[in-house]
Amino acid sequence: EAQVTQNPRYLITVTGKKLTVTCSQNMNHEYMSWYRQDPGLGLRQIYYSMNVEVTDKGDVPEGYKVSRKEKRNFPLILESPSPNQTSLYFCASSSLIKTGETQYFGPGTRLLVL
Amino acid sequence: RKEVEQDPGPFNVPEGATVAFNCTYSNSASQSFFWYRQDCRKEPKLLMSVYSSGNEDGRFTAQLNRASQYISLLIRDSKLSDSATYLCVVIGSNDYKLSFGAGTTVTVRA
């Protein structure tokens, strides 16, 4: 089954404690991206990657890091989480040619930073 | 100004009604446009692409107005299952950044 998986699905942490949210896709997609969704603001792109070792900033990259060492994985790293990073996070992937048309989203990760 | 703006609604309509709403975008060079559907904070799913000539998919019609820089979605014969938040997505011409609107909430009542 074609899918995007994220782990963990729910996470409560404290300010400053480094965390990683994993994202994996099994569709051999070149394009992967991370979004955060906050009430009234919609989805905002954090980082995206067009292929292995190729990443670029989205609209809200501050406080986040990503890496793309393998095609299927695109982890999101919060080196020092802060309460304003409390949000719902989605990972997505697509073929590069049809970047918007066929964005497949993961189920989301709800993060609470205390 | 936000890159993509939508009327948040909610649009409360009875079953069988027609509902329509727009999404405006600020970058005149934007090339690709889409409508996604999101149910209750679950993952968004592609509803339909928006083509320059307008397009239909069953009860859903999407249109693009480049001169006024907006896209629209019309839902005919609304069903209870159409209740969701509809997200407008725009892709610029020079990059692969996706810009999402904040969403328009539609509630269809029996």
User: What's the 3-state SS for B60-92?
Assistant: EEEEEECCCCEEEEEECCCCHHHCEEEEEEEEC
Mean per-residue pLDDT, B68-84: 97
Q: Is the pLDDT of residue A99 over 60?
A: no
Q: Do B46 and A101 touch (CB under 8 A)?
A: yes
The alpha carbon dihedral of B73, B75, B80, B81 has a sign of: negative
Q: What is the pLDDT of residues B14-71, one digit of tens each?
A: 999 999 999 999 988 888 899 999 998 799 999 999 988 889 999 999 999 999 999 9
Q: Is the pLDDT of residue A2 over 80?
A: yes
Q: Is the pLDDT of residue A3 over 90?
A: yes
Q: What is the pLDDT of residues A4-24, one digit of tens each?
A: 999 999 999 999 999 999 999
Q: What is the pLDDT of residues A27-51, one digit of tens each?
A: 999 999 999 999 888 899 999 999 9
- Probe site for chain A from B43, B45, B93, B94 (most A CB atoms < 10 A): B43
- Probe site for chain B from A10, A35, A37, A46 (most B CB atoms < 10 A): A37
Q: Residue A60: which residues within 8 A CB-CB, separation 6 or more?
A: A36, A44, A45, A46
pLDDT > 90: percent of chain B: 74
Q: What is the pLDDT of residues A57-98, one digit of tens each?
A: 998 999 999 999 999 999 999 999 999 999 999 999 988 765
Of B34, B42, B103, the CB nearest to A101: B34
Quote the pLDDT of residue A100: 58
User: What is the Cα–Cα distance from B27 to B29, expressed in whole angstroms?
Assistant: 5
Contact list in A for residue B95 (CB cut-off 8 A) is 56
Q: Taking CB atoms and an 8 Å cut-off, how many pairs form between chains A and B?
A: 64
Specify whether the CB–CB gap between A51 and A28 falls below 8 A: no
Quote the pLDDT of residue B51: 85
Give the gyration radius of chain B's Cα atoms.
13
Q: In the structure, what pLDDT confidence band is assigned to residue B96 with cuts at 50, 70 and 90?
A: confident
Specify whether the CB–CB gap between A58 and A76 falls below 8 A: no
